[in-house]
C-alpha cells in the first residue's frame, strides 16, 4: 500500500490564548453578606437549600459512569464531561449504527482539564471505496469513517467492531484528500467472536487514536504483510517518509545533517544523560508559518527566523515522571541554548509562553504566538498542566493566524 504521511497534529501552545483557557481556576468569589434583620432570612435559607438540593440531583443525573451509552443525537454535554474531568481511569461511550457496526469512544479522564461538549456519533460509509482502494495499491479492505466536527476534550481511542472479519494483519488509519491517501496512524486489529452465543462467526475489531475531528474524510485500510517482498518494503518506506511531510518516527531522516547546525538540535545533549534515565519523549520547535507571512514580521525579528523555519529539529529528550510540557520545553531550550520567555498566570494556574528564540506573540501580526500539541492533539489548557508520558511527541509551532495555519482549527 503506497500511502503518504501527512504532517498532522502540529503540537503547539497558544501563547496568545492564555485568556481563552477556561475552567482552570480563578479567584474565589466573596461570600454574600447576610442581612440578619430581614424577616425573610429563614425563607431565603430554605430557598437556597432547595436550589442546592436540585443542583446536587442535577449533578447526579448528569454524572458519567465508566461505561455509557451514546444518546441518539451523539452529544455528551459539557456538564457531563465535567463529571469525569481530571478523574483517573478510562471512560467508555458505546454506540451502534443501523447496519450493526458497534463503536466505542475511550477517554482518559485525567487528560480532560477543560471539558467541552463532545459529539460522538460516528457514521461508516462504503462510498468511493474502489477509488480509495486503488489509491492504496488495490488494498483488499477499506472503510470510510465520518466523525462529527468538534473540538476534542482530550485525545481519544475509537474502537470499531465490524460485522465481518478482515483477513488482514495490518490496518492503517488515513485521511483522504484530493484523491491522495495520507497515513495518520497504525490501527490495531484483532478478531473475536461475533457474540458470546456464537461459536463460528468471527468479526474484526479495529482501534485507533483520534486526535482531531475536523470534518475530513477518514479511511481504514486493511491488508496483509505476509510474504513481504522488496516491492512491499519499498511501499512501506514511502509510507513512513512521504514527500515533504514529517513523521515523528522518522525524525532523524527529516532532520538531516542540518540538525547539527547552529546549536539547534538537542539530541546530542539528551544522549549524554544518564543511562539510568529511561523516560524519553520527543520535542520540536518551528516557525515556518512566519515564512508565509514575512511581510507581517517585525523587521527587527527577521534575524531570528531560520531559513527553513526549524528552531529545534525533532529531538529526543529525557524527563522525570511528573514533568509537564513546560518542564520539557524549558529543559530542551536550556540544553540547546535557545532563548525562552514565560510568565505565570495565577488566574489559570499555568505558565504562558511569551517567546522562543526571541520570537514573541504579536511579532508577526495581531493573531500570532506560540502553540503546542502532544501526539497530534492540541490541548485546550496551559502547557504546565499537561504531564508528559513516555513516547510523547511534543511539537511547538509559531502561528500567525490563531492556530488555523498550523493545524488547530478551533483555537480562534
The pLDDT tens digits of the residues spanning 299-349 come to 999 999 999 999 999 999 999 999 999 999 999 999 999 999 998 877 667
User: 241, 272, 306 — which closes off a domain?
Assistant: 241
Average pLDDT, the chain: 78
In a domain, 34, yes or no: no
Is there a single domain that holds both residue 132 and residue 254?
A: no
Strand order, beta sheet including 359-360: 340-345, 350-356, 359-360
Is there a single domain that holds both residue 356 and residue 323?
A: yes
CA distance 246 to 286: 12
* Per-position DSSP letters for 15-39, written without gaps between them: GGGGGG--SS--PPPPPPPP-TT-T
Q: 3-state class of 50 per DSSP?
A: helix
**Bridge partners for 170 per DSSP:** 223
Amino acid 176: pLDDT: 86
Is there a single domain that holds both residue 331 and residue 208?
A: no
Range of the domain at 308: 15-20+246-399
CA distance 3 to 222: 13
In a domain, 410, yes or no: no
Amino acid 164: pLDDT: 93
- Least confident span in 157-161, 248-252, 359-363, 368-372: 248-252
Contact 191, 244 (CB under 8 A): no
Average pLDDT over residues 390-398: 97
Q: What is the pLDDT of residues 377-387, one digit of tens each?
A: 999 899 999 99
**Which residues fall within 8 angstroms of residue 46, CB to CB, at 6 or more apart?**
none
In a domain, 54, yes or no: no
In a domain, 8, yes or no: no
Residue 173, classified by CB atoms within 10 Å of its CB into exposed (0-12), middle (13-18) or buried (19+), is buried
Closest of 376, 368, 256 to residue 14, by C-alpha: 368
**CA distance to 122, 220, 351, per residue, from 160 (Å):** 10, 10, 38
Q: How many domains does the chain have?
A: 2
Amino acid 1: pLDDT: 54
Q: What is the pLDDT of residues 5-16, one digit of tens each?
A: 543 333 333 333
**Which residues fall within 8 angstroms of residue 231, CB to CB, at 6 or more apart?**
none
Q: 3-state class of 94 per DSSP?
A: strand
Which one-letter DSSP state was computed for residue 411? -
Whether the predicted pLDDT of 146 surpasses 90: yes
Closest of 315, 327, 303 to residue 388, by C-alpha: 327
User: 225, 241, 257 — which closes off a domain?
Assistant: 241
CA distance 274 to 43: 67
User: 210, 241, 272 — which closes off a domain?
Assistant: 241
Q: What is the pLDDT of residues 159-195, one digit of tens each?
A: 999 999 999 999 999 988 888 888 888 999 998 776 5
**CA distance to 201, 318, 363, 373, per residue, from 355 (Å):** 58, 23, 10, 17
**Bridge partners for 188 per DSSP:** 207
Residue position matching grid coordinates 507571512: 293
Comparison of pLDDT for 267 and 215, the residue scoring more: 215
In a domain, 38, yes or no: no
Is there a single domain that holds both residue 154 and residue 172?
A: yes
Is there a single domain that holds both residue 288 and residue 168?
A: no
Is there a single domain that holds both residue 229 and residue 253?
A: no
Amino acid at each position: 500500500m503506497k500511502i503518504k504521511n501527512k504532517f498532522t497534529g502540529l503540537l503547539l501552545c497558544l501563547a496568545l490564548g492564555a485568556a481563552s483557557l477556561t475552567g482552570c481556576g480563578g479567584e474565589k468569589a466573596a461570600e454574600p453578606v447576610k442581612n440578619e434583620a430581614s424577616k425573610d432570612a429563614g425563607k431565603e435559607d430554605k430557598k437556597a437549600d432547595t436550589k442546592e438540593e436540585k443542583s446536587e440531583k442535577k449533578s447526579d443525573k448528569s454524572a458519567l459512569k465508566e461505561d455509557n451509552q451514546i444518546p441518539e443525537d451523539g452529544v455528551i454535554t459539557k456538564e457531563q464531561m465535567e463529571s469525569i474531568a481530571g478523574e483517573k481511569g478510562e471512560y467508555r461511550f458505546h454506540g451502534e449504527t443501523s447496519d450493526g457496526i458497534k463503536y466505542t469512544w475511550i477517554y482518559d479522564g485525567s487528560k480532560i482539564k477543560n471539558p467541552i461538549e463532545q459529539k460522538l456519533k460516528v457514521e461508516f460509509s462504503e462510498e468511493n471505496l474502489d477509488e480509495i482502494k486503488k489509491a492504496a495499491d488495490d488494498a483488499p479492505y477499506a472503510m470510510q469513517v465520518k466523525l462529527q466536527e468538534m473540538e476534542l476534550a482530550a485525545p481519544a481511542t475509537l474502537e470499531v467492531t465490524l460485522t465481518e472479519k478482515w483477513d488482514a494483519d495490518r490496518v492503517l488509519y488515513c485521511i483522504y484528500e484530493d484523491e491522495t491517501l495520507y497515513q495518520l496512524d497504525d490501527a490495531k486489529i484483532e478478531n473475536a467472536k461475533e457474540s458470546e452465543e456464537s461459536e463460528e462467526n468471527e468479526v474484526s475489531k479495529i482501534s485507533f487514536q483520534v486526535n482531531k475531528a475536523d470534518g475530513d474524510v477518514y479511511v481504514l485500510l486493511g491488508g496483509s504483510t505476509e510474504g513481504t517482498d522488496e516491492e512491499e518494503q519499498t511501499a512501506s518506506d514511502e509510507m513512513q517518509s512521504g514527500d515533504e511531510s514529517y513523521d515523528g518516527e522518522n525524525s532523524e531522516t527529516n532532520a538531516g545533517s542540518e540538525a547539527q547546525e547552529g546549536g539547534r538540535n538537542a539530541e546530542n545533549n539528551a544522549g549524554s544523560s544518564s543511562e539510568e534515565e529511561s523516560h524519553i519523549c520527543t520535542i520540536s520547535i518551528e516557525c515556518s508559518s512566519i515564512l508565509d507571512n514575512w511581510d507581517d514580521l517585525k523587521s527587527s525579528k527577521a534575524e531570528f527566523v531560520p531559513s527553513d523555519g526549524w528552531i529545534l529539529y525533532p529531538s529526543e529528550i529525557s524527563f522525570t515522571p511528573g514533568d509537564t510540557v513546560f518542564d520539557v520545553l524549558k529543559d530542551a531550550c536550556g540544553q540547546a541554548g535557545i532563548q525562552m520567555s514565560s510568565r505565570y498566570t495565577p488566574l489559570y494556574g499555568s505558565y504562558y509562553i511569551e517567546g522562543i528564540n526571541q520570537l514573541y506573540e504579536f511579532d508577526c501580526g495581531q493573531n500570532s504566538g506560540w502553540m503546542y500539541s502532544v501526539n497530534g492533539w492540541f490541548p485546550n489548557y496551559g502547557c504546565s498542566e499537561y504531564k508528559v508520558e513516555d513516547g510523547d511527541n511534543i511539537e511547538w509551532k509559531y502561528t500567525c493566524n490563531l492556530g488555523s495555519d498550523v493545524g488547530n482549527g478551533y483555537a480562534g
